[in-house]
Homo-oligomer: A and B are copies of this chain.
């Protein structure tokens, strides 16, 4: 597949939902009702993915990072629109279409429309995706709802994707599971939907736990204290890193985890642990919100200076 028309034909085969109108109309038309959650994230070759990443992995990531934003709002995905910069080259676009087909089936979310444009020769592949979701009945939690006294929780394990990136770059060697965490992020959709009404604020961890926790605190008009010792690390990560403070700081400032970060009062602990158990997803209390501003870092009982870099600064606008 080297022609744009072949790629569009492959997209038509994916976009079978009636709202997509066969990708033959000016727009998609989808019946909706209630609070609708809308997000748009881009991936650019050489910035968000490596030229050597497989097209299937890039397709997965494009879908997964957008659905992670919906997960952070407790939303059920209802549709996708894609903007695709067609750059040609043997196999890449066909592989991307196959990966996209796989991803939309895995997440049961229909491709509804978008645009395919020919990029100038030599331009990086540039992809955009808009994800549309249905907010939970109780409303979509914001980043700004944390209250003083709330705990800060994180799902899953932190820092795996950062090490996966180092492995992808050839800077490290390590278990394939870490590389997979980088290439195949898993948006916490089911958990996000289940927990949405129990949280005061929620966001996903895309740019790093510390920076994303700091943003939640700032948006909520509060300070946040984060305990490095409480940050959950995977056995895979600990198989190539010693369990010490530099490892925990690296994990807390690495991006691409796409775990959820949420604020909830201490009284919600039992409910949170029950939902986590039901979904087979570990959760950890990694901090607490207090009156004030800024981020305070500790490692168990020891106060720790904030690292110079809290995470990726070039986060999504929304």
Contacts and interface: CB of A to CB of B under 8 A. Distances in A.
Interface of A: 4-5, 8, 11, 15, 20-21, 23-42, 44-48, 68-70, 72-73, 75, 79, 81-83, 85, 112-120, 123-124, 126, 128, 130, 132-133, 135, 139-140, 142-144, 203-204, 215, 219, 313-314, 316-318
A142 B20 CA distance: 11
A32 B34 contact: yes
Contact of A79 (B38, B48, B112, B123): B38
B128 A83 contact: yes
A47 B11 CA distance: 22
A38 B120 contact: no
A112 B35 CA distance: 14
Contact of A38 (B72, B132, B313): B132
Given A47-B117, A83-B128, A113-B318, A27 B37 contact: yes
A38 B132 CA distance: 10
Contact of A140 (B27, B116, B204): B27
Nearest to A72: B26
B113 A73 contact: no
Give the one of A46, A70, A124, A219 with max B CB within 10 A.
A124
Give the one of A24, A73, A75 with max B CB within 10 A.
A24
